[in-house]
Structure 1
Amino acid sequence: MHPASPFVRGWVALAAIGFFFGRDTFERMLQGGPLIDEQVAGRAPWLLLGGGTFLLLTVAGYILSWYFTRYQVAEGYVRVNTGFLFKQQRQARLDRVQAIDIVQPLLARIFGLAELKFEVADAGESAVRLAYLPMDQARQLRATILARAAGVEPDPARPEEAAAEAPENAVLTVPPPRLVGSLLLSEQSAFILLGAVASVVLSAVTENRSFYLYLIPAGLGLVAAYWNSFNKGYNFTAAISPDGIRLRYGLLDTQAQTLPPGRIQALRISQPPLWRIFGWYRMQVNVAGYGTAGSNGEGSSRTTLLPVGTLPEVFTMLSLVLPDPGTADPARVFAAGLHGIAPVSGAGGGPGEESDGGFVTTPRRARPLAPLGWRRNGFTATDTALLIRSGRWWRQLVVVPHQRTQSMALQRGPLARRFGLVDLALHTTSGPVSPRLIQAGIAEGKALLDAQAARARAARKRQTSEHWLEQVKPLVAGTGHEAGTDDPEASSKEGPQHG
């Protein structure tokens, strides 16, 4: 690794040591007093000796950790050896690589360094983290690993030569004003506004001003959430290349993420109520190898395919994840999934008769359980994916490629039994997306269980994710015009044709 790596990793510990031993001296300096208190003047040499020894041991530990860290890419594996007293070797098969990220914390960017981490199938956390490498070396190593993972054999005459980085074509960029607007119109802002109104009303009614105090922690938490989302989503760009979908984002800590083809297991498109004003959507995915990455701030950014985008941009990103929509009229089907509502049939309508755009919705008898959402909840299946929609106010559309269905379960509680309903849960890899069809009729739920099992089995037999670039060549060729267009109608006409 780079010689500056131990200091980039350990600056927090060094700062903590300096704060612990120099806090009192710094405070006295600000107050204009002597730098060394008379009570501790006699023990100053021993304190300096102890502090210096502790600091040297800490620095020596980081240096030894750096010196004994080695990595190797050979024989179809990437291996990392670490440890001075307690040695450890981690290795991962190149053909099991799921995704590769290049991460640059702020201090690493100052030194021109980057951390390379990539995910391996069945790994709950990063299997290998190489911190830190020079930026050019990290990019070359990522290109080499992706090429080996894709089965590209090195030149026999020059087996050690690094693979060239695959070219890319920009697809879209999220403007910062749109990102800021999406945060201001987010669910958190609505809850804080409602809390402020409630505090004002309660304070006026009870003449007790203490209600305002409850807004302080909520406001601080909201500011922290805003900053984290803005920092992670700033300058978000997406591009396509032969080795996968490339995502770049970050203000202070930048990250370059590569998702190889076929690694996205499930996708969710959501639209909060206030985002409908501008027609914005959010896209999140489950990625094989990321495990429970979506449970924290860093992980949620890694599983975000589009933080905020318009409908044409949603169709563009869908075309990358699902090049073959599996239907002759994708515009109508996906539009019905995003914002459609089943028409009301006659009074004699029975289970499964409520549908629009091919979606089978919740039976009319479930209206007491879902008075607003029973016409919205539903599902449909194309030749390549299962689409599940839900939510009247917080709209959601979940897309699960058939070959990514791992298992399914029919579930229902006492109320569902009373109304003759059932839920169907689809199990994929861990992540922010939990595919679940709610409040379906019993007959429809059982039929979907059998049909989806058959579709998943057939799709796995004909899976061709290794030909991902062949499928998106039309979009690659037109990227230069589609990505920069300001004409929503032109973009919407192109997007659904591919996704």
Structure 2
Amino acid sequence: MTPTGMRRLHPLSPLLRGLRSFWFVIAAISWQGFAQLGLTRGAIIVAAFGLLGLAWSWLGWLTTGYQITQGELRVNDGILTRSRRAIPIERLQAVDVVQPLLARLTGLAELRLETAGGGKTEAPLSYLTLAAAHDLRRQLLAHAAPPPTETTDTPQTTPLVSVPTPRLIAAQLLTPHILLLPIAVAFTVWLFIINPDLTLFGIAGTVTAVAGILFQPVKEAMVNYRFTARVAHDGLRVGHGLLERRAQTLPLKRVIAAGVRAPLLWRGFGWARASVASAAYGLDSGIEGFAGRTLLPVGTRLQARQVVAAVLPGVDLDAITWNPAHPRSRWVAPLSWRRLAVSMEDSVFAVRSGWATRAELVVDYRRIQSVRVTQGRWERLFGLATVHADIAGAPGIASRARGRELSEALRLARDLIRRSAPPAPAPLPPADRPAGEG
């Protein structure tokens, strides 16, 4: 406990956070820097800055505390500048328990809180014991959502979807990064041929450049290792990760949109990727015009339909009736015009796009904040327009219906405005008139 009565983080937190300083300094110096400084001088600099980082982390631990009170999570932190944050629990969009490698080795975890419209994690608590992190997550979600009506929670033991490791690895082998690998290896061999006297640091720099090409597919495979998704009473529960294990919970009532995309090299195997967005997860890159959290890193079309239906009940991707783009859109989008389509379902607005990567996006009408109709130069030339549905609290999500004839685009926009309008408030009962009034 802190002097103010707030709970402290785990005593090992300063050590784990301080160790990051060593890696940051090593990355900042780079191979070229070590070559200029020498190994001994470089090691001294790394050690000095690393120890300063440890000391700073310890001071931060002394001044950090948290507590739940009056419907808020209150967090105090800061060394030179004190910060006191009060996060309304009802604004929480997602609560994640994350275990980086060093934290897993020590049995600790980090709690990350995502709020509506937040551009980054709100007041991450690192680190707590794993049991304490899960217990705090349960408390927060219990305050953020009404209590479950059922006493059993069978979906916790039966995953909605799980991704086999062989399929995950095979999917990463079918990415543009891997296709560029032979070129990178050939370039590395060519460097050795023309310059056989490369120094140790030159070799390390060249190998690092080749490793950079492998970084994204390897990272994707490690992040989504042993991926499982379950629907429980408190929301969608997702678990994944090899070096950094994550347990994430997203309340289903916070879901804004869901999307599925099928890259060109995956389609021969019938694979697709599904994602979901809430107000807290709408800023990272993903589907064309769509961003969010992974629902399914790679799976069959049937599995993609299942996870989308789980987060948006009543939505069946294969039952959507698509209205294709106008034939004149071939001059605006020559490769993808046959895929451009839109649909106004009962509860969602759906758009389809993409040629190399086929994408489908469905958005809850209630989450649409504004509707726009735009015309670029080429669109004006051919009498076409694009309808944009902007999503409340998630600027990273942009559902666009392209290739629509102008008159149709205006009708579509009016229909979207009507469907997304909040229900009119119930009329107030007439007030009693004072006695004596006519």
TM range (shorter): 0.7 to 0.9
C-alpha offsets along residues 340-384 of structure 1, whole Å, 9 cap, x if unaligned? xxxxxxxxxxxxxxxxxx322122233333344323211111101
1:4 Cα deviation after fit: 0.3
C-alpha offsets along residues 413-441 of structure 1, whole Å, 9 cap, x if unaligned? 12111111001112124476431111111
Contact 1:119-1:126 at 8 Å conserved across structures: yes
Aligned twin of 2:70:
75
Q: Does 1:281 align with 2:244?
A: no
Contact 2:274-2:308 at 8 Å conserved across structures: no
Contact 2:323-2:341 at 8 Å conserved across structures: yes
Contact 1:146-1:243 at 8 Å conserved across structures: yes
Q: Which has the higher strand share?
A: 2
Aligned counterparts, 1:145-224, within 5 A: 145-152=140-147, 168=156, 169-190=158-179, 219-224=210-215
Aligned twin of 1:312:
302
Counterpart Cα distance in 2 of 1:12 and 1:132: 14
Aligned twin of 1:66:
61
Aligned twin of 1:239:
230
Aligned twin of 2:16:
8
Counterpart Cα distance in 1 of 2:51 and 2:211: 38
- Greater RCO, CA 8 A, separation 6+: 1
Counterpart Cα distance in 2 of 1:271 and 1:15: 36
Counterpart Cα distance in 2 of 1:276 and 1:182: 11
Contact 2:21-2:49 at 8 Å conserved across structures: no
Q: Does 1:228 align with 2:214?
A: no
TM-score, normalised by the number of residues in structure 2: 0.78
Which residue identity does 2:343 align to in structure 1?
A: T
Which residue identity does 1:77 align to in structure 2?
A: E
Q: 1:276 to 1:291 in 2, by over 3 A?
A: closer
C-alpha offsets along residues 458-481 of structure 1, whole Å, 9 cap, x if unaligned? 57999xxxxxxxxxxxxxxxxxxx
Aligned twin of 2:125:
130
Counterpart Cα distance in 1 of 2:18 and 2:378: 55
Aligned twin of 1:333:
319
Q: 1:103 to 1:458 in 2, by over 3 A?
A: same
Aligned twin of 2:199:
none
Counterpart Cα distance in 2 of 1:240 and 1:454: 32
C-alpha offsets along residues 373-411 of structure 1, whole Å, 9 cap, x if unaligned? 323211111101011111234211111111111112111
Q: 1:445 to 1:58 in 2, by over 3 A?
A: closer
Identity of aligned residues (%): 34
Aligned twin of 2:85:
90
Aligned twin of 1:378:
341
1:56 Cα deviation after fit: 6.7
Counterpart Cα distance in 2 of 1:410 and 1:323: 29
Choose which of 426, 435, 438 in structure 1 pairs with 2:399. Answer: 435
Contact 2:185-2:210 at 8 Å conserved across structures: no
Counterpart Cα distance in 2 of 1:238 and 1:112: 23
Structure 2 unaligned spans of 5+: 1-8, 29-34, 196-205, 427-438
Contact 1:105-1:254 at 8 Å conserved across structures: yes
3-state SS of the aligned residue for 1:406?
A: strand
Counterpart Cα distance in 2 of 1:51 and 1:374: 55
Q: 1:73 to 1:53 in 2, by over 3 A?
A: same
Aligned twin of 1:389:
352
Counterpart Cα distance in 1 of 2:46 and 2:214: 38
Q: 1:112 to 1:419 in 2, by over 3 A?
A: same
CA RMSD in angstroms, aligned pairs only: 3.8
Q: 1:461 to 1:450 in 2, by over 3 A?
A: farther
Aligned counterparts, 1:139-150, within 5 A: 139-150=134-145
Contact 1:379-1:388 at 8 Å conserved across structures: yes
Choose which of 233, 244, 248 in structure 2 pairs with 1:253. Answer: 244
TM-score, normalised by the number of residues in structure 1: 0.69
Q: 1:147 to 1:310 in 2, by over 3 A?
A: same
Aligned twin of 1:481:
none
Which residue identity does 2:418 align to in structure 1?
A: A
Contact 1:10-1:62 at 8 Å conserved across structures: yes
Which residue identity does 1:269 align to in structure 2?
A: V
Q: Does 1:455 align with 2:419?
A: yes
Q: 1:197 to 1:375 in 2, by over 3 A?
A: farther
Choose which of 357, 376, 386 in structure 2 pairs with 1:423. Answer: 386
Counterpart Cα distance in 2 of 1:286 and 1:189: 28
Q: Does 1:270 align with 2:234?
A: no
Q: 1:362 to 1:461 in 2, by over 3 A?
A: farther
1:227 Cα deviation after fit: 1.5
Range 284-293 or range 112-121, more displaced: 284-293
| Count of residues in correspondence between the two structures | 385
Q: Does 1:104 align with 2:99?
A: yes
Aligned twin of 1:445:
409
Q: Does 1:411 align with 2:374?
A: yes
Counterpart Cα distance in 1 of 2:273 and 2:370: 26
Aligned twin of 2:32:
none
Counterpart Cα distance in 2 of 1:84 and 1:165: 43
Structure 1 unaligned spans of 5+: 21-26, 38-47, 154-163, 335-357, 463-499
Aligned twin of 1:303:
293
